[in-house]
Structure 1
């Protein structure tokens, strides 16, 4: 780098400059850092919530894969599979003394609630359960509030089919809470043997497969090549999966747009630097400094400030995001009605690709806009500036 350009760059970064210049540099870094940290925090929040909803739906509602297998067809093994569980499902009406609700009844075996599934919900059981010969079901706290019932209360489970109306008196053995009301208000768990015995041909029996989301399509393809009929949870719930992906992309587009505006602000920073240093730039022109040398010095200084701010803002946004779970848990505990349809219990995931896109857009827009704004350096009237001094 040219010695003049290096000296000018260091001065614009506050190195060897007066206190006012250093304060100006620090102020700009803090301002850009705060903007970037907010962008990062917002994107992490939306992506984490979307993936949290997807995990709860896949683990508790449908499984990552659903296999419809003939009883005579042997079950294959796959290294990416966590568990394969036989489940039954039927739609029914759930009656309390005062209200009723259409629900999705899911019959499961005792091994169904493994560690992965238990991590997605909280189960509350009665400490002094009264003995009963009635079949036990597990409903959500959301559904219990809607039906005005509690643990050990009795409910009527009714299936309406083309053949007949079958009703069964049940007792609430436990309550669960996933934190996602959209799922809680429709899903009821019971014993698979009870469900098959009560509803016989009305029950749809299939196998739920748990695997890693990244291996989903690979595992599905392997099952299909082996002759199985397999569907993913996304295919079972196209509206939900589509909405989650659309939400992520929409928020990413908004964050990119804000990053572009931030890049424009950074170009204004370079313009202000040039405006403040018009006399100094004019003097450099008079002593023979080339305009491109001056432009390079200012461009380098602004881009160093931008790069440092992006790095600090990204780190700060991730740090803020890591502190969200306790805050969200406190908000969820207060049961604000306006937030009842939002998931507030989810692990924080850092979307590296999304954050890279936001940072890259901000850096590139800043580089281009700063380069364009610095063209005015060549147009500074040296004699005029000197005369004003």
Structure 2
């Protein structure tokens, strides 16, 4: 296939041996620098995506996506409300609950927290707690049993294990006694411990909904109905639709009221990291400028001859742009391949390092995940590759323009 003149000559200049080997060395360094920059950027973005996914799954796995309550009290007929909201195709789960602030006491240890009365058969529809039981099961929460399931950190603080008795003081429910007004107290039997590696482990406990209703005298309904949606990131649209359908009697909110700031901070950090690491590619691109400037100076006589034979300034510009762009293309392509391979295999590499050197990179008692999560998003790869290639193209403009301005007579004066 016959190549265009500018492309043909540009490829020849790229492949040709230099009289000054330092030019070839600079070109190699520029390609390696771009490749390393792209590789690091893809890997770092994948790791940040992985941590964001773990945060989303663990935090939002315990927090309701949408929460419905009433302005003037409890929801009396939550079953009918559930049927109504489930007509929305975006709702895939619903669970009622009663909640109360409480003080847990066990063997002289006190811990403030929140106790939720739930239905064991429904709670799995909206949270991940049933899939993260360290001991016991939710099936032990039956009406009248007064069993309780504690978060792992809460159980550790109280020194409580399965089979122990834990006393719960309900600070907002009081009773009269000889000693005066005292908070209502109830003893529960620990039948399970869950561990989600989230904030819920520190302060949350579950009992059967009817048991908590009996203790707190909330027989007239439930505190709220929590919902799970198909797409947690589209929860605003779902909240608006439900609110319009239910009317002003109900208060409809979602997870963004409590956790949006955290995810905004993560998103901002990702953008800042992208900008900062892009400077690595920009620094490498300066080597393209250097190598092309040196190449233009070396090829002054060739440029003059080409101009004398009828080559236009724009053709000369395209010749040297081709040479620089190829360096950027090779560097970007190599960086994408290496970055994707590293991002996909990084968890295994970290595991190998931990086993080989008998170390723990992410101690379980310090971090909420004890492994290095990665998630490769191809949109990020495309953006990084285009950014790197774009910087490479920009780096070729000045040297190529300088070559196109070469005057044949001046260039051949001393030849």
Structure-1 separation of matches of 2:173 and 2:89: 42
Say if 1:137 and 1:317 are closer, same or farther in 2 by CA, change over 3 A: farther
Aligned to 1:112: 122
8 A contact 1:106–1:190 mirrored in 2: yes
Q: Which of 51, 70, 90 is equivalent to 2:100?
A: 90
Q: Does 1:52 align with 2:49?
A: no
Q: After TM superposition, give the deviation of residue 115 of structure 1 in Å.
A: 7.4
Q: Which of 308, 322, 326 is equivalent to 2:344?
A: 322
8 A contact 1:107–1:193 mirrored in 2: yes
Aligned to 1:173: 191
Q: Does 1:219 align with 2:238?
A: yes
For normalisation by structure 2, the TM-score amounts to 0.75
8 A contact 2:146–2:211 mirrored in 1: yes
Q: Which runs of 5+ in 1 are unaligned?
A: none
Q: Which of 154, 161, 169 is equivalent to 1:143?
A: 154
Structure-2 separation of matches of 1:102 and 1:5: 75
For normalisation by structure 1, the TM-score amounts to 0.80
Q: After TM superposition, give the deviation of residue 58 of structure 1 in Å.
A: 2.4
Say if 1:86 and 1:126 are closer, same or farther in 2 by CA, change over 3 A: closer
Q: Secondary structure of 1:161's partner?
A: strand
8 A contact 2:132–2:194 mirrored in 1: yes
8 A contact 1:52–1:347 mirrored in 2: yes
Could you tell which deviates more after superposition, 98-107 or 35-44?
98-107
Q: After TM superposition, give the deviation of residue 351 of structure 1 in Å.
A: 4.1
Aligned to 1:268: 287
8 A contact 1:270–1:374 mirrored in 2: no
Q: After TM superposition, give the deviation of residue 258 of structure 1 in Å.
A: 2.4
Say if 1:314 and 1:178 are closer, same or farther in 2 by CA, change over 3 A: farther
Say if 1:244 and 1:153 are closer, same or farther in 2 by CA, change over 3 A: same
Aligned to 2:318: 296
Say if 1:360 and 1:285 are closer, same or farther in 2 by CA, change over 3 A: same
Say if 1:99 and 1:234 are closer, same or farther in 2 by CA, change over 3 A: same
Instruction: Note the aligned Cα RMSD (angstroms).
Output: 3.9
Aligned to 1:35: 37
Q: After TM superposition, give the deviation of residue 188 of structure 1 in Å.
A: 2.1
8 A contact 1:135–1:171 mirrored in 2: yes
Q: How does 1:124-143 map to 2 (within 5 A)?
A: 124-125=134-135, 135-143=146-154
Q: Does 1:375 align with 2:401?
A: yes
Aligned to 1:122: 132
Q: Which of 172, 180, 189 is equivalent to 2:206?
A: 189
Q: Which of 260, 269, 274 is equivalent to 1:241?
A: 260
Could you tell which deviates more after superposition, 312-321 or 159-168?
312-321
Structure-1 separation of matches of 2:11 and 2:361: 54
Q: After TM superposition, give the deviation of residue 231 of structure 1 in Å.
A: 0.6
Q: Secondary structure of 1:78's partner?
A: coil
Structure-2 separation of matches of 1:92 and 1:189: 12
Aligned to 1:282: 301
8 A contact 1:260–1:362 mirrored in 2: no
Q: Deviations over 1:235-274 (max 9, x none)?
A: 2x0xx32122122223212312321441342132232133
Q: After TM superposition, give the deviation of residue 304 of structure 1 in Å.
A: 3.5
Aligned to 2:167: 156
Q: Which runs of 5+ in 2 are unaligned?
A: 176-182
Q: After TM superposition, give the deviation of residue 98 of structure 1 in Å.
A: 4.2
Q: How does 1:251-262 map to 2 (within 5 A)?
A: 251-262=270-281
